[in-house]
Structure 1
Amino acid sequence: MKHFILILCLFSLLFKIHAQDEKSPSPILFIYDASGSMWGKIGDKTKKEIASEVLFSTVNELPNQQHVGLIAYGHRQKGDCKDVEFLVDINNQSKANINTAIKDINPLGKTPLAYSAAQAIAKLKQSKTKATIILITDGIESCDGNICDVVANAKSEGIDFKLHIVGFGLKEGETEQLKCAAQAGEGNYYDASDASGLAEGLSEATSQTIDTNQGNVSIYTTKNGEPVDAWIKAKKAGTNDVIDGSRTYRDSAWIYLPPGKYDIDIVPLENSKIKGTSITLDIKKDEIKHETISFDGGKINIITLNNNEGWDCTSTVKSQDGKAVGHSRTYGRPQVVEVNPGTYDIEIVALRMNGLETKYTIEDVLVESGKTIDATHNFKTGIAKLGVQENGKLVDVVVNIYSLDKTIFIAGGRSYTTSSSNPREFILNPGKYAVKLRGRKQGTDTIKWFEITVVEKEAFTKMFEW
């Protein structure tokens, strides 16, 4: 008997654990905009068509055990600020029910955002259910309500919910109250200008539910003092193991990181030509952190000279790990390259000159946010005009210039027999060179070697006797 009771207890324990594992997530309740403005078009489709397709696609990606409800506003009467209806109850687990309800919606009326939120919250309060509310709207409040106040008051009453808001095709300046409401609802505001943006916003919102660990790291990104939309990706320090991620949508993005050390990549999606940046954070238990990341790059004013005069050069700006982060060509004029704050090496290659000193690296250039630093290099050259003649007549041969030990090719060309190319001009770094002449003399291949010396800022002409 004792053996039987022990087996029964173990079975009950396993059943309980299994039941906990199968516990359904808290409901998601969508509030759908069915106001008359949803007949407006983005591209070839109405906003209603886009929103319907994206919403059902989003719902279809949810777990099978996910309870999902639907509220619509503005779909029955034109001027009614109370036109809010529960189309699908939050106990629903059928994705098809959501799809059917969406298809039957006929956008018609006003945009009672505050009243819609109040009705959704009242339902949760009545049923004592915690849930994630996701509001989709293409317009601002049109019934004199204040959704931010509604949400804040509900939170102060202890009603357990998270509110995300997806603004669909809203204009700049229309989002302040919506952002306030999302923040009060411990959720996010997502800005969507098209179908792709709406899908991204809904996907992010449905992944950040009331059941998700509350964020303990917030990141806000700016450029020239204005908020910037950016991707956030946190990885275990020194690895590629992604722990959490988010998107700022020009607001603070929250991620949750257990205690430990993390590398966080932040990549701007707008308003900047520069690449993203990374920070490393050490998170301790029960710690909440906030980071403001500025994409205000510093600037490097690259100045390339030859004998103190502007000279055409290419340049490559490299970070300390050797990655190229910027390129330019000066064309003889200063060129500005914008990069993230940091320390860089600048590799400069001079054009239209030859020698052993046509490349130079300016090392350890410190760039500070919002500041411009000059990076200057002055090459040195002289001019050698080399020609070939025989008994006073110009001779066509190949003229090649080598290092003095004849191991490194420097420059070359043909002399031909015209005064425009014989003598031929070479711009060379100062120093001594070996000159190799190769041609035919009296029907025989002939090679002759000479030596020249090039002096800084000086030009000379040398006619070799063939």
Structure 2
Amino acid sequence: MMRQRTYSGAGALAAILTMGIAAAAPAQEAPRTMLVLDGSGSMWGQIDGTAKIEIARDAIGDMLDSWQDGRELGLMAYGHREQGNCADIETLQVPAPLDRTAFDGLLGSVTPLGKTPLTDATRQAAEALSYTDAPATVILVSDGRETCNADPCAAAETLERTGTDFTAHVIGFDVDDAAQADLSCLAEATGGMYLAAADADELTGALTEVAEAAPDPAAPMIDDDFDRAELGESWEVINPEPNNYIVDDSTLLTLTTVPTFVGQENQTNVFRWVGQPLPDGDWDMSVEFTSEFTTRRSTIEMGIYEDRQNFVVTALYGDGSSNDRIILQVTSNVGGEKSDVNVTFADDACCPRDYDIDAVLANLDENGGTLVLRKRGRDYSAEIRTDGWVAREGQENPLRTDPLTVLRAGGRPVLYSGTFGRDYGDLPQTATAFDRFTVTPR
């Protein structure tokens, strides 16, 4: 069997010691999986006198014999209901713990008939697995190339860039060289395996291998829960003001000092990680927090920082406008040239006023969130995750910016929170509790 593999976080402080502290993230579960089965007309082709669809059903059954208890599996098929219809993609089973009898019945209902929209099927499978929110794995079995004018390679790159930890394993069943090129790039771009199978035994072996290959979610390479009495040797403080931060009760607590933010000449109490280096390649950097936050220019920032002229930072900040707007942004400064992208997290503008800004601020204080900076190649994007609440009904969670492309970026991780500007002569106080900082290879 031909095989290709690609494998791809003082007294002034007394008032905040009673702040709600975000709970440590629970251990992640194994990635949910969607099996995508080719139901195009060519699956009636025979190998050694048996139709390929029958061989596929039997091989999948062998894979299911050793499927891990409790691990969620879904089933999607394409090309099985209509001839010539590129939209013929159906979710037969949403991801759930395996019900073997029901699953076998669904497999038996797939009758080959139509085209091969494998790109859109893979994309829909990823969406069904909530791939932007949690680790997700797709196993695709196809006996041919894309026939619906879509680009599987481009789609795979987008899924990899926008997913939390997305992987596609692809099995090319009795395919030619052209189909192999289409199929293999789906796997390679997402850190999965491409396996070619020419007959029943090879298909059974390939399915067993990809089922066993589904990885546990990546463990953080850098992980600091601040469970000690001092900041420690892994951190240094740029322009320290010791009266305005403290490590207490497994939390780094910080107060506003002067109106500033990362990269300003007067930046104060910027915490820079000097411990283990960042992993090579792609990663997610995250910090869990709660914050007595104000729309009057409070800011919570995290990123990589070399010096004031070279950094990439994500920030959740109140813009100080009369609209009480809170913005999620990623900013780069390379040699003094700045760029940024942003998205609105909350806004009290009219009309309509569909955010309850007071409730948003209360949730940031009591329940907090997780600020994330994602690196994928040269693209950096920011996201904010909230557990058990959203800024408004129907808002995406996590909420994510578009990617910002940065050709040259380097430096050490940094954390900062404070207030970056005065408001009608006052300096509003920002009090933030950093609970856990991680960097996870992707």
| More RCO (CA 8 Å, sep 6+) | 2
TM-score normalised according to structure 1 size:
0.40
TM-score normalised according to structure 2 size:
0.42
Structure having the higher Rg: 1
